[in-house]
């Protein structure tokens, strides 16, 4: 430990840029409205801005950050398994937990289109941009690292959901890591978000 603490300070510029920008994007989303719709805001903040930084500033391909099909066969398998395993859990929560039901019932208008817009950038930010940027420096530990801001970004949502997100964030990160794509955790997340809203609202 002494050797580590006494070593010269050498910061990775790419890691710093990704960390600082991701934090600022999350804070701007919380405090500001860029458009008339929070869903369009999140596409801009969490998808378009990171992609522009990757292409124009980092001079890299988005594929290096999981913006690709990756291992689609494995991804399809994980997506199907995730949906099968999580469906009864989501239905139980939406029907059995009053705070979950009250929070999500009001969001039913426009689903699944609104959940698509809400989560496509959200998943890219954590399971693409952060995960694959951190992986270059920290390897598999990046799966846990991206799960921390993901969990903190859930503060204000139902308690039972927020407490579970450090583990859910890890699971989504693991799927992205294995498939080399953010697409499959996005599909799983899109499904469960749409389902919990529709069940909470009594639509299904």
Hey, what's the torsion of the CAs at 24, 57, 67, 41, to 10 degrees?
A: 40
> What 3-state DSSP class applies to 155?
strand
Show the tokens assigned to 115: 């959940």
- pLDDT in 10s for each residue of the chain, 204 residues: 455 666 677 889 999 999 999 999 999 999 999 999 999 999 999 999 999 999 999 999 999 999 999 999 999 999 999 999 999 999 999 999 999 999 999 999 999 999 999 999 999 999 999 999 999 999 999 999 999 999 999 999 999 999 999 999 999 999 999 999 999 999 999 999 999 999 999 998
Range(s) of the domain holding residue 174: 2-200
Q: Are 131 and 146 a contacting pair, CB within 8 Å?
A: yes
Q: Write down the pTM of the prediction.
A: 0.94
Q: What angle do CA 10, 13, 17 make, to 5 degrees?
A: 135
Number of domains in the chain: 1
CA of 51: how far to CAs of 48, 144, 193, in Å?
5, 23, 24
């Amino acid at each position: 430990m002494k050797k580590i603490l006494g070593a010269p300070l050498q910061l990775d510029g790419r890691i710093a840029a990704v960390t600082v920008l991701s934090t600022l994007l999350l804070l701007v989303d919380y405090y500001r409205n860029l458009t008339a719709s929070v869903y369009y805001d999140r596409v801009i903040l969490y998808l378009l801005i990171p992609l522009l930084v990757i292409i124009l500033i980092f001079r890299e391909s988005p594929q290096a950050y999981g913006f690709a099909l990756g291992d689609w066969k494995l991804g399809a398998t994980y997506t199907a398994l995730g949906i099968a395993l999580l469906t009864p859990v989501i239905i139980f929560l939406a029907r059995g937990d009053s705070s979950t039901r009250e929070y999500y019932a009001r969001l039913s208008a426009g689903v699944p289109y609104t959940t698509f817009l809400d989560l496509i950038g959200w998943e890219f930010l954590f399971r693409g941009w952060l995960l694959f940027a951190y992986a270059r420096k920290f390897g598999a530990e990046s799966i846990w690292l991206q799960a921390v801001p993901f969990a903190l970004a859930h503060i204000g949502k139902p308690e039972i959901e927020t407490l579970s997100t450090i583990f859910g964030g890890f699971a989504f990160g693991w799927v992205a890591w294995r498939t080399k794509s953010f697409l499959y955790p996005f599909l799983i997340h899109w499904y469960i978000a749409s389902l919990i809203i529709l069940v909470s609202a009594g639509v299904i």
